Chain A
Amino acid sequence: MSTSVVRPAPRVTLKKALLTTLHYGVLIVLALLFLLPFYLIVRNGLATEQEITSPNWTFFPSALHFENIGELFSDSEVPFSDGMVNSALIAFLQTVGQILISLLAGYGLARVPYRYANQVFYTILLTLMIPSAVIYVPTYVVVSYLGWLSTLQGLVVPGIFSGFTTFLFRQFFLSFPRELEEAGRVDGLGYWGTFWRIVVPNSYGIIAALSVITFIQSWNAFLWPFVVGQDRTAWTVQVVLSNFLNAQVLNLHELFIGAAVAILPLMVLFFLLQRYIVEGYKQSGLKG
């Protein structure tokens, strides 16, 4: 039964105004604090080497050296644009693959009344609890004997299977409004139908959120591409950036500007997807 709710007119406007100011004040201060490190990265990226390591560090550099960006792309030792392309390809494939597989598995775990669903869920959780930095060596050996070293599949496939994303999808689907699914059931849809026609279109929020997170994790991954990629053509952008962190010669300004440029695609992706995170339901909630 839907009735329009008549709420009393806001009584104490001063209190409300103060609270709102406080609310936004806190948000703005926090926002500035969160942005500070990014400022530092860009500042260091547009400075000279001396300015970064100097004891007389100033908040604003004396001049902005935009030529550092040019240097980044023209450094023959450092295939930066190739690295970006590789990262984009790998991250895209991993995100699509991972979201798809975890979406399916999460729904199955949450909604299909299989007798051993819990046990399966626990085994999946188990994969999260093993420190991956230690089991990556056996994983490497598996991949190497599969002949997948320095190949696209070697770089992409192991990262497609994620207990993390599956776990989050499962939790989300557990809270999904059953009424919508029942409506689908009434229309004669089975589990598959309900899933693709009703559940997924109403889950854009979580899908967008986890897609962004997965893409970022893939983009920022270092260890696996480093170990599996045997030569420069397989370098992702993180591996390329590690060129600047060498023991002999300091190249910090290139590192920072490279890092800043490498973060840009992630920012773009997030800006594009974030409205889905909010929109949540295409067909919102209960009606009548």
Chain B
Amino acid sequence: MSSPETPAAALMPSIGERESARRVRRSSIKTTLIFWSFVAPLMLGLILFFFVPIIWSIVLSFSEARAVILPTGFAGLRNYRDLLQDQQFTSSLLTFTIFAFFIVPTTFLCALGLALLVNSAKFAQGFFRSVFFLPTACSYVLASIVWKMSIFNGTRYGLANAILHLFNLDPVQWISSPNPPWYWLVLVTVRLWLQLGMYMIIFIAGLQEIPRELYEAALVDGAKRGWQTFWYITVPQLRNTSIAILLLNIIAAYQAFDEFWNIMSGGNQSLLRTPLMYLYNVALGSQDYGLGSAGAMILTIIIIFFTLLQGRLLGFGRSN
């Protein structure tokens, strides 16, 4: 959509925006048809494979549904109440919000940093791009196993402990001991390793989209290469890409599951549980699909809240 999302001060003022707004008001049947000819295949698929299950889940969340997928009774808000009063669930939400506040900016900045470093390397650029992107090819389960078994295991010969040993330090129980909670280090490093490459590549594609002429024009106008061109050209041009990456990061943080499940296994799970792990135990373990769906709705509402917050602050992307 070409009209601006927020009334906030535009970094890219354009008269073209207002003109296109006028054109929009004459929304014709032709435009509608053209729009749907582009978007229909996606929507049809989403309706069948997402919206039907989502609506079904919403219905389940207000129902009694244990070991069955069809409601056996109306439960009103009971599932929601039970979850929100469950200290195990609410503490998982709180821990996760803190985790998200930390991991989202970190991933964003590191990915951007990597993208800039790699994109501006004059040779072996392809090599570095590949190396950083490669972990994306690794599954979360496999990475978790490597992290748990080989790098951060608690024996003297785990890689991390072997390094400590070099400095004559005692081995640390990275995963199973809560004081101090070193497992955060394990979980954050595995997540960064797995995800940075993907976001980096998207940033690189965004960086490549920036017309070179913008930079050259700026230099003619006396801007210096480096910080000034970065702040005044690169950042605004990356706006749309950044918004997407930020949003996807937030969503991913709240849906964290695989590496947590595999690294904090057995009794260690009690030390740290993501909301989704709790729901997985509930919906699939206890087969309480009503409760599980209610939990999914609660998580979704939280994600929507942060998305709207981001939208309010940064917008959802403008056309140039």
User: B41: CB under 8 A from chain A?
Assistant: yes
| CB of B109 closer than 8 Å to a CB of A | no
Q: Is A96 an interface position by the 8 A CB rule?
A: no
A183 within 8 A of B: no
Is B130 within 8 A of A129, CB to CB? no
A135 touching B54, Cβ below 8 Å:
yes
- Tell me whether B141 is interfacial, beta carbon within 8 Å: yes
**Residues A34 and B134 in contact, CB atoms below 8 Å apart:** yes
Instruction: Verify B39–A105 contact, CB threshold 8 A.
Output: yes
B293 in contact (CB, < 8 A): yes
Residue A142 at the chain B interface, CB threshold 8 Å: yes
Give the residue name and chain of the B residue nearest to A275 (CB). Answer: B126
- Judged by a CB distance under 8 angstroms, whether A11 is at the interface is no
A97-150 contacts to B (CB < 8 Å): 101-102, 104-105, 107-115, 117-118, 120-121, 123-139, 141-142
| Residue A286 at the chain B interface, CB threshold 8 Å | yes
Contact B137 A129, beta carbon cutoff 8 Å: no
Given contacts A27-B118, A118-B1, is CB(A135)–CB(B137) below 8 Å?
Answer: no
Main SS at interface, chain A: helix
Interface 9-mer from B74-82, B93-101, B149-157, B174-182: B149-157
Q: Are A171 and B1 in contact (CB under 8 A)?
A: no
Using a Cβ–Cβ cut-off of 8 Å, how many residues does chain B contribute to the interface with A?
114
Question: Count the A-B residue pairs with Cβ separation under 8 angstroms: how many?
Answer: 309
- Which residues on B sit within 8 Å (CB–CB) of A38? 134, 138
A5 located at the interface, meaning its Cβ lies under 8 Å from any Cβ of chain B in the complex: yes
Chain A residues within 8 Å of B131, by CB: 31, 34-35
Say yes or no: A57 contacts B150, CB within 8 Å.
yes
Instruction: Compute how far the CA of A41 lies from the CA of B1 in the bound complex, rounded to whole angstroms.
Output: 46
Could you give, for residues 275-288 of chain A, a 1 whenever the CB lies within 8 Å of some chain B CB and a 0 otherwise?
10110110011100
Cβ B53 vs Cβ A120 within 8 A: no
Q: Does B271 contact A (CB under 8 A)?
A: no
A278 to B120, CA, bound (A): 12
Other-chain contact of A216, B130, B136, B237 (Cβ < 8 Å)? B136
Task: Identify which of A65-73, A77-85, A173-181 touches chain B.
Answer: A173-181
CB <8 Å contact, B158 and A57 = yes
**Cα–Cα, bound, A167→B42 (Å):** 12
Does A216 contact B137, Cβ atoms closer than 8 Å? Answer: yes
Task: Report how far A277 CA is from B316 CA in the complex, Å.
Answer: 24
Task: State whether the Cβ of B263 lies closer than 8 Å to any Cβ in chain A.
Answer: no
Q: Is B66 an interface residue (CB 8 A)?
A: no
Nearest CB of B to A224, in Å: 11
Interface check B186, CB cutoff 8 A:
no
Verify if B205 is at the interface (C-beta below 8 Å from A): yes
- Shortest B157–chain A CB gap in Å is 4
Q: How far is the CA of A35 from the CA of B121 in the complex (A)?
A: 19
With a CB–CB cut-off of 8 A, which chain B residues contact A112?
31, 34-35, 38
Chain A residue, CB-CB nearest to B52: A142
- Tell me if A127 and B319 are in contact (CB < 8 A): no
CB distance from A177 to the nearest CB of B (A): 6
With an 8 Å Cβ cutoff, the count of chain A residues facing the other chain is: 107
Assembly CA distance A250 to B129 (angstroms): 36
Q: Which of B83-91, B227-235, B300-308 contacts A (4 or more CB under 8 A)?
A: B300-308
Residues of A at the B interface (CB closer than 8 Å) are: 3, 5, 7, 23-24, 26-27, 30-31, 34-35, 37-38, 40-41, 44, 52, 54-58, 101-102, 104-105, 107-115, 117-118, 120-121, 123-139, 141-142, 157-158, 160-161, 163-164, 166-168, 170-172, 174-178, 190-192, 195, 205-206, 209, 212-213, 216, 219-220, 222, 238, 241, 252, 255, 259, 263, 266-267, 270-271, 274-275, 277-278, 280-281, 284-286
Interfacial residues, chain B to chain A (CB-CB below 8 A) = 1-2, 20, 23-24, 27, 31-32, 34-39, 41-43, 45-46, 48-54, 56-57, 60, 69, 114, 117-118, 120-121, 125-143, 145-147, 149-151, 155-159, 162, 193, 197-198, 201-202, 204-206, 208-209, 211-213, 216, 219-220, 237, 239-241, 243-244, 247-248, 251, 254-255, 257, 276, 279-280, 283-284, 289, 292-293, 295-296, 299-300, 303-304, 307, 316-320
17 extra interface residue pairs, beta carbon distance < 8 Å, beyond A118-B1, A128-B251: A5-B220, A31-B131, A104-B42, A110-B1, A112-B31, A125-B307, A127-B51, A129-B300, A133-B255, A163-B46, A171-B240, A172-B206, A177-B211, A212-B133, A220-B137, A263-B137, A270-B130
